[in-house]
Structures are given as structure tokens and as C-alpha cells.
Amino acid sequence: MTQADDRILETLADSELILSPHVLSVNIDYSRHYLSTRLGKLRDAGLVERVDDGLYRITDHGRAYLNGDLEVEDLV
């Protein structure tokens, strides 16, 4: 997990929105390309889900991670 991963999850959780890497990049100051890569990793770990092509939302596992109820070691 990286600092960007935490920012992605926090932004998705706080906004309650389905967001694209581009919208996330505008709001958290990482490049769209980097965020696309990180979103893929977060999806593989079950922390976000792809709703449509290029659109993501946080999962219950992602919220549990943010709340401290899920450790990095417990991720898929």
C-alpha cells in the first residue's frame, strides 16, 4: 500500500461517488496514469471495484481498511 492508495480510498469513501482516474488525479495531485495503475492494484486486493470501463468505487473491504479493521496482510 502506498500513500496514493490511501488518498484514493479516502477520496472515494469521502465523496461516496464513482470516480475515474482522471477525476481522482485532478483532486489528489497524482497523474492519471499512476492512479490507473494503483486502482488496478486496489481492485486486485478487493478494496475498490470497477463499476464500468474506467469508473471505480470503494468496496466494504476498502472501508474496513480505512477504519483499521483490515490489515494489509489480510488483503488478497
HSE, CB side, 13 Å, CA atoms: give it for residue 60: 0
pTM for the predicted model, two decimal places: 0.91
73 part of a folded domain = no
Residue 50: beta bridge partners?
56
Asked if residue 74 is part of any domain, the answer here is: no
Judge contact between 48 and 58, C-beta under 8 A.
yes
Is position 59 within any domain? yes
Identify the domain containing residue 24 by its residue range: 3-68
pLDDT digits (tens, 9 = 90+) for 3-39: 999 999 999 999 999 999 999 999 998 999 999 999 9
Query: How high is the pLDDT of residue 72?
Result: 75
The number of domains in the chain is: 1
- Is residue 75 in a domain? no
In a domain, 41, yes or no: yes
CATH code for position 24: 1.10.10.10
User: Is 50 within the bounds of a domain?
Assistant: yes
Higher pLDDT, 3 or 75: 3
